[in-house]
Structure 1
């Protein structure tokens, strides 16, 4: 279970996901939103970015395999396309 979660996290494009989420939260703070609203913005953006990153990995799985992408758990066969697709949706 922990291994699957780690592989899903790696499939989610964690760097860009974190960057966009932090920037969105920062913009919400700059706009003067209260704590609850900042957290809501951050959570909404985080979930959207996770879905985008995971979708990219399952949609591009065959192409990533064909070029032996070492940074993609799906391309390495460590996690199934179906699991990544289910997590994205």
Structure 2
């Protein structure tokens, strides 16, 4: 279970996800949003970014496999396309 979560995290493009989420939170603070609203902005952006990264790995899985992308858990066969697709859909709906 923990291994799958780690692989899903890697499939979500964690660097850009974290960067965009932090920038959105900083902007919300700079705009004077209350703490609860800052948290809501950060959570919304985080979930959106997770869905984007996961969708990228799901949609590009065949192409990534064909070019032997070693940095993609789906391309390496360590996590299934179905699991990544499900995680992408859950994060976009949440």
Deviation at 1:32, TM superposition (A): 0.3
Deviation at 1:76, TM superposition (A): 0.1
CA-based RMSD? 0.3
Kindly report structure 1 stretches of 4+ aligned residues shifted beyond 3 Å. Answer: none
- Find the aligned partners of 2:70 and 2:34 in 1 and give their Cα distance: 42
- Find the aligned partners of 1:27 and 1:88 in 2 and give their Cα distance: 26
Deviation at 1:80, TM superposition (A): 0.1
Matched, 1:54 2:38: no
1:40 matched residue in structure 2: 40
2:92 matched residue in structure 1: none
TM-score (norm 1): 0.99
TM-score (norm 2): 0.94
Gaps of 5+ in 1: none
